[in-house]
Amino acid sequence: MPKKMIHEFHEMKRKGEKIAYLTSYDYPTAQFAEAAGMDMILVGDSLGMCVYGYSGTIPVVMDQMIVHAEAVRRGAPNTFVVGDMPFLSYQSSLEKAVENAGRFLKEAGCDAIKLEGGRRIVPQIRAIVDSGIVVMGHIGLTPQSSGQLGGHKAQGRTLESAKALIEDALAIREAGIHMLLLEAIPPEVAAYITRTLDIPVLSIGAGVDCDGQLLIVSDLIGQFQAFTPKFVKKYCAVAETITNAMKAYVADVKSAKFPEPQHTYSMLKEERPKFDEWLKARGK
């Protein structure tokens, strides 16, 4: 299947075709996602928690994101890949924002970037869009500012907060975003934003009426153990599967059931008698 590009996602919205979107952080998972027919992959800064074991996304830096994005690109050459801008890669200056956004395209071959925030990052969005880069906005629960939000909490649950989210969505669309991700907001607020904007609106915990859905792969496969957000659906339990396989391996090693003859290499036929003779000469 040829890689879908941004205009095709806009077309999918017009036709009412849902967009399947998943995070990936490495080469094999990206291969699986592409084989599964994923429309879009996010190399999310959630890799801070899912891959590196940090308690949040704040410690993640650009160089880490680029290494993972490169691996994902190699694993999914025919899938639209979005690079997620980590904390402080775009907030401190417009030059830095454009430069770091450009790194995802130049160094990792990404198709777009995503950044968190509403009205307060309009200048950064304008600058990145003006440099020719496809941009996905991200509002609602924005993990990089979870300190200000009072933790990883759903947003838009009061009229005031819902109105603020809608203002944010309109402002960043006006600034030029090409797609929008809504995280952990009530479905009725998400449905209004989806109806109102002329661009694809993706949901992670924002209900079924959005134009597509995102899940974090480590949640989908049951790998991430620390906590499970309400919006997660687990499709398998790899943590259990892997742990059980490792337990079986430990037991086999301890009882010398592994390796078996089929897991070993034989000496070359003509060398074996010579080796036996050599051992004999050494008295072994």
Name the residues that contact ligand KIV, by CB under 6 A. Answer: 23, 42, 44-46, 84, 181, 183, 204, 214, 216
**Rounded to whole angstroms, how far apart are CA atoms 69 and 81?**
8
**Rounded to whole angstroms, how far apart are CA atoms 169 and 164?**
9
Q: Tell me the closest approach of the beta carbon of residue 121 to ligand KIV, in angstroms.
A: 14
Q: Tell me the closest approach of the beta carbon of residue 143 to ligand KIV, in angstroms.
A: 6
Q: What is the DSSP string of 206-251?
A: S-TTSSEEEE-HHHHTT---S---TT------HHHHHHHHHHHHHH
Quote the strand ranges of the chain, DSSP E.
19-23, 40-43, 80-84, 112-116, 135-140, 179-183, 201-204, 212-215
The number of angstroms, rounded, from the C-alpha of 238 to the middle of its chain's C-alpha atoms is 18
Which is nearer to ligand KIV, 230 or 282 (by Cβ)?
Answer: 230
Q: Tell me the closest approach of the beta carbon of residue 114 to ligand KIV, in angstroms.
A: 7
Q: Quickly tell me which residue has 């699986």 as its tokens.
A: 32
Q: Tell me the closest approach of the beta carbon of residue 228 to ligand KIV, in angstroms.
A: 13
Strands 201-204 and 212-215, by their bridges, are parallel
11 an active-site residue? Answer: no
Q: Tell me the closest approach of the beta carbon of residue 42 to ligand KIV, in angstroms.
A: 6
Confirm if 155 and 141 have CB atoms less than 8 A apart. yes
**Which entry of 8, 160, 183, 277 is annotated as an active-site residue?**
183
Which is nearer to ligand KIV, 166 or 216 (by Cβ)?
Answer: 216
Which is nearer to ligand KIV, 91 or 284 (by Cβ)?
Answer: 91
Which is nearer to ligand KIV, 34 or 84 (by Cβ)?
Answer: 84
To 10 degrees, the CA torsion angle through 90, 92, 95, 96? -50
How many C-beta neighbours within 10 Å does residue 89 have?
A: 24
Q: Which residue is nearest to ligand KIV (CB)?
A: 44
Confirm if 70 and 108 have CB atoms less than 8 A apart. yes
Quote the strand ranges of 85-178, DSSP E.
112-116, 135-140
Q: Tell me the closest approach of the beta carbon of residue 26 to ligand KIV, in angstroms.
A: 14
Which is nearer to ligand KIV, 25 or 105 (by Cβ)?
Answer: 25
Which is nearer to ligand KIV, 162 or 202 (by Cβ)?
Answer: 202
Helix (H) or strand (E) holding 125: helix 122-130
Confirm if 68 and 47 have CB atoms less than 8 A apart. yes
Active site residues: 183
